[in-house]
Amino acid sequence: MGRITAPFGPQHPVLPEPLHLNITYEDEKVVGLSPAIGYVHRGLEKTAEKKEYPENVFLVERVCGICSFMHAMTYCMGIEELMGIEIPPRAQYLRVFYSEISRLHSHLLWLGLFADAFGFENLFMQYWAAREKILDLMELTGGQRVILSSCAIGGIRRDLNAEQIDTAQGVLMQTEEELKRINPVMLNAYTVKQRTVGKGMLSREDALLYGAVGPMLRASGVAQDLRQTGYAAYRELGFAPVVETDGDSYARALVRVRETCQSIELARKALERLPEGEAAVKVKGNPDGETMQRVEQPRGELLYYIKGNGSKNLERLRIRTPTFANIPSLLKMLPGCEMADVPVIVLSIDPCISCTER
Amino acid sequence: MKVDTIKTSPEAIVASAQKYFDDGCRLVAATCVEEGEELRVIYSFDRELSLENLEISTPREKAIPSLTGVYACAFLIENEMKELFGLEIDGLSLDLGGRMYLVDGAEPAPMADHNKPKAKEDEKIG
Amino acid sequence: MAKMISTVMSNLTHCPKTRLYPLEERQLPPGTRGQIEFDMTKCIFCSLCAKRCPADAITVDRKGKTLVFNPFRCIICESCLEGCPKDAISLFSHWRAPVTALYEQKYQPEPGQAGD
């Protein structure tokens, strides 16, 4: 039988970002692949060494558009640890609120794209219409639709007033109602199940071997979510990870659907229990020493290694993003599958290439 | 402040990683940091949500063994280190040939030339 | 399936969720980071904004008393607003209109008049 190697991406109708895979097919079956990423490498880690540490907050926000707040938060948490800054409780709760609406909008974006990957365009539009409300909420509270820039070293730059909190509660409640209407279509429709159940299997052992993180890991039955460690205000709010055991594309969609509901709940809880007081503290001095910070992003675990030397410039900033850890699992999931399932499986890892290549 | 690490030698790293793998730990990342003439590589493993680090130091010219035999996911991390820091790695399961991020004709190992004098200049202006 | 039919019906009877953009502009909430502007009656050319700007969009010539602002480098992060000791920079919640050619805005100390 003849073999053919064809590129998948970097420009492909289902891909939101330029992921490039060289896939070898035997007839309609995938037999091998080699990832060739590198389309959007911007050298941000190097740039971060040249900028002053407070400016880097805005730089790391631009590592990824979708989870920009989480990047800024992780960086700030790292710097705060190095400089010994205690941030006020109000800022902790606001950080939870902002991270959860970021997660919500990221998951809704993914659910829409996933529906689009198997050609369910109506569902795609329904999810994105729901997401639009969240983006408006982000604009109202943070000042911009995607890049919030509301996190700063020492707390949160934009405090919420009572009116904004009311609006946010209303929008979150409305979104919950909206999702109750849309989610059953994603989870129960016959066509969706035909395209997702049993596709892209990743067992629990393989998930660990290939270093999968986030919803990938949780869909394979590993109950690991860094929010369990209780950073920001997650300890006070109470948190249990969402776990599925099937390890296929459907399970990954199910994990994300359930996480959207959880995010709404957590964001609303954070707003309800929002303590009074200042939202930021003043920062003086320069970071010295090294630290590692981990945060749960919509796509999984994010790791920052920060090394300062007592000056305004950092010595090293290393960002390990979740998609970087999830791409190797494609090597396990793709070989053996049908050509028509490749887009669905690739999308099920929620690839974010701007993150990966930095 | 320092990151808690267990120091080990490049020769022993594969065996140590195997121990972590047998315990069901997940390889989170490998971080390469340039310290003077030596490169310091910190391997981070996740054990039930807590981070455990192994650390090795190696001169740049000397190749370090690859972890791909233990953790299949290490190939991406190691390719990145190889490309950005010019660290040689022995036994990579999938070698992207230094063309993961960089294009033909690019300056090799862009992260390695840790240009410290220039950083100081920046400070003076700032 | 019945659920989908109700959605289809509501889509038929309701107006579209999109807007005809240039004809119909969305009202942005106050506080939206649209663009920044400098008030030259207040500016003392201390160059703190230029120092704080993470995108290097502002250059200040302290001796020549000129401030050059590149709106296309600006990421509207509000760092300059926070750093300004005289509150000479203000934020507007409307977007800068698209242009066909890049330009820089030059500000000079002309009391009561914002240069362009």
Please tell me the least confidently modeled range out of A106-110, A249-253, A301-305, B31-35: B31-35
Tell me, yes or no, whether C114 lies in a domain: no
Please tell me the least confidently modeled range out of A61-70, B6-15, B87-96: B87-96
pLDDT bin (cut points 50, 70, 90) of residue A68 is confident
> What secondary structure letter does DSSP report for C24?
S
User: In which residue are the tokens 């990870």 written?
Assistant: A241
Quick one: pLDDT at residue C95? 79
pLDDT bin (cut points 50, 70, 90) of residue C111 is low
Q: How far is the C-alpha of A258 from the C-alpha of A225, rounded, in Å?
A: 14
* Euclidean distance between the first and the last CA atom of chain C, given in angstroms as a whole number: 59
B101 and A CB contact within 8 Å: yes
Task: Enumerate the residues of chain A whose CB falls inside 8 A of the CB of residue C76.
Answer: 144
Q: What is the 3-state secondary structure (H, E, C) of A210-269?
A: CCCCCHHHHHCCCCCCHHHHCCCCHHHHCCCCCCCCCCCHHHHHHHHHHHHHHHHHHHHH
pLDDT bin (cut points 50, 70, 90) of residue B119 is very low
Q: How far is the C-alpha of A177 from the C-alpha of C61, rounded, in Å?
A: 56
Q: What is the pLDDT averaged over residues A264-269?
A: 89
Domain ranges of chain A: 3-357
Q: How far is the C-alpha of A300 from the C-alpha of A240, rounded, in Å?
A: 15
Q: How far is the C-alpha of C83 from the C-alpha of C89, rounded, in Å?
A: 10
Amino acid at C41: T
pLDDT bin (cut points 50, 70, 90) of residue B25 is confident
Which candidate from B25, B96, B122 shows the least CB-CB separation from A50?
B122
Please judge whether C33 and A157 are an interchain contact, meaning their C-beta atoms are less than 8 angstroms apart.
no
pLDDT digits (tens, 9 = 90+) for A28-39: 888 888 887 778
Tell me, yes or no, whether C102 lies in a domain: yes
Structure tokens at B78: 């190691």
Which candidate from B21, B25, B94 shows the least CB-CB separation from A34?
B94
Q: Touching B: which chains, 3+ CB pairs < 8 A? A: A
Q: What is the pLDDT averaged over residues C3-8?
A: 73
Tell me, yes or no, whether C1 lies in a domain: no
How distant, in Å, are the alpha carbons of B100, B101, C54, C76, C97 from that of C58?
35, 31, 10, 12, 20
CB half-sphere exposure, C90, CA atoms < 13 A:
9
Please judge whether C52 and A184 are an interchain contact, meaning their C-beta atoms are less than 8 angstroms apart.
no
Hey, is B103 helix, strand or coil? coil
Structure tokens at A64: 């990824």
Q: How far is the C-alpha of A53 from the C-alpha of A299, rounded, in Å?
A: 26
pLDDT bin (cut points 50, 70, 90) of residue A1 is low
Q: How many domains does chain C have?
A: 1
Tell me, yes or no, whether C7 lies in a domain: no
Please judge whether C3 and A144 are an interchain contact, meaning their C-beta atoms are less than 8 angstroms apart.
no
pLDDT digits (tens, 9 = 90+) for A122-162: 888 888 888 888 988 888 888 888 888 888 888 888 888 88
Name the helix (H) or strand (E) containing A71. Answer: helix A68-83
How distant, in Å, are the alpha carbons of A292, B63, C58, C90 from that of C109?
47, 61, 16, 17
Q: Does domain A3-357 have CATH number 1.10.645.10?
A: yes
CB A321 within 8 A of CB A354: no
Quick one: pLDDT at residue B126? 36
Q: What is the pLDDT averaged over residues C66-93?
A: 85
Q: How many helices (H) and strands (E) does chain B have?
A: 3, 6
Q: How far is the C-alpha of A117 from the C-alpha of A124, rounded, in Å?
A: 9
Please judge whether B46 and A224 are an interchain contact, meaning their C-beta atoms are less than 8 angstroms apart.
yes
Q: Does domain B6-125 have CATH number 3.40.47.10?
A: no
Quick one: pLDDT at residue B120? 42
Structure tokens at A263: 């995010």
Quick one: pLDDT at residue B113? 65
Closest CA to A107 of A320, A323, A253: A253
Is residue C114 predicted with pLDDT exceeding 70? no
CB A242 within 8 A of CB A259: yes
pLDDT digits (tens, 9 = 90+) for B60-114: 778 888 888 888 888 888 888 888 887 888 877 777 776 777 777 777 777 776 5
* Euclidean distance between the first and the last CA atom of chain A, given in angstroms as a whole number: 40
Quick one: pLDDT at residue C24? 80
Name the helix (H) or strand (E) containing A91. Answer: helix A89-117
Closest CA to B60 of B84, B28, B77: B84
Query: Mean pLDDT for chain C?
Result: 80
Please judge whether A139 and C29 are an interchain contact, meaning their C-beta atoms are less than 8 angstroms apart.
yes
C12 φ, ψ to 5°? -70, -40
CB A79 within 8 A of CB A286: no
pLDDT bin (cut points 50, 70, 90) of residue C3 is low
CB A40 within 8 A of CB A18: yes
* Euclidean distance between the first and the last CA atom of chain B, given in angstroms as a whole number: 25
pLDDT bin (cut points 50, 70, 90) of residue C84 is confident
Is residue C113 predicted with pLDDT exceeding 50? no
pLDDT digits (tens, 9 = 90+) for A214-233: 888 888 888 888 888 878 88
What is the chain C residue with the closest CA to A60? Answer: C54
> Taking an 8 Å Cβ-Cβ cutoff, which residues of chain C contact chain A?
3-4, 7, 17, 28-29, 31-33, 52, 54-55, 75-79, 82
Burial class of residue B114, CB neighbours in 10 A (0-12, 13-18, 19+): middle
User: In which residue are the tokens 């106050």 written?
Assistant: C30
Which candidate from B3, B25, B99 shows the least CB-CB separation from A290?
B3
